[in-house]
């Protein structure tokens, strides 16, 4: 009787959940759960140059040497969680500026989508278009066809100092500020 109960439990509860994960994330779901291999803390952050909706039309990580960089990856413009996260970063932008930190968002959306998103939400920080996911992959933040919700703190020398995985959009900006304060102390 116990064996029959275990079989029913697995077939009715566990297998459907596993099947759903595989269908949503693909057959290598566990390997993709965190988006790939993470850049080790204390090592140089991967360099990049990506198109943006502001300024000269391209931004490189090297443009921000001498400043802290809050590099946040997000799945898609105009979705509820991504909108909330962007709004919180915008609300707290003066606090980041006080800490010599630049907020930069990255997703697979194109430059036109980013321009509309910035206009719609009043965003005053750059959003970068990582259409092929190359930069997201370099940071371990890619789950085709989109970037994952991860954030990285890069110091003024270009060194990876912190990573945030499993971000909660409503409180994330304040978490980043608190960690930035600890790192700058």
Please identify which of the residues 82, 123, 127, 146 carries the catalytic annotation.
82
Looking at the DSSP bridge assignments, the partners of residue 160 are 154
Q: What's the rounded Cα separation, in Å, for the pair 85 and 70?
A: 13
- Residues with Cβ within 8 Å of 169's Cβ and at least 6 positions away in sequence, in order, are 81, 82, 84, 85, 88, 149
Beta strands in the chain (DSSP E): 49-51, 58-60, 68-73, 101-107, 127-129, 142-143, 146-147, 150-154, 160-164
Maximum C-alpha span of the chain: 70
Q: What's the rounded Cα separation, in Å, for the pair 73 and 165?
A: 10
Catalytic, 118? Answer: no
Burial of 147 (0-12, 13-18, 19+ CB in 10 A): buried
- What residues are annotated to the active site? 82
């Amino acid at each position: 009787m116990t064996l029959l109960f275990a079989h029913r439990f697995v077939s009715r509860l566990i297998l459907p959940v596993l099947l759903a994960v595989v269908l949503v994330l693909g057959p290598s779901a566990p390997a993709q759960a965190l988006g790939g291999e993470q850049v080790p803390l204390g090592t140089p952050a991967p360099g990049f140059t990506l198109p943006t909706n502001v300024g000269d039309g391209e931004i490189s990580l090297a443009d921000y040497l001498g400043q802290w960089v809050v590099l946040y990856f997000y799945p898609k413009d105009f979705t509820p969680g991504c909108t909330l996260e962007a709004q919180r970063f915008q609300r707290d932008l003066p606090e980041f500026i006080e800490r010599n930190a630049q907020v930069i968002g990255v997703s697979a959306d194109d430059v036109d989508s980013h321009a509309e998103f910035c206009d719609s939400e009043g965003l005053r920080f750059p959003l970068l278009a990582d259409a092929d996911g190359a930069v997201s992959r370099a940071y371990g933040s890619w789950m085709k066809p989109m970037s994952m919700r991860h954030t990285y703190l890069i110091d003024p020398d270009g060194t990876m100092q912190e990573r945030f995985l499993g971000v909660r959009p409503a409180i994330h900006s304040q978490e980043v500020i608190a960690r930035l304060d600890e790192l700058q102390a």
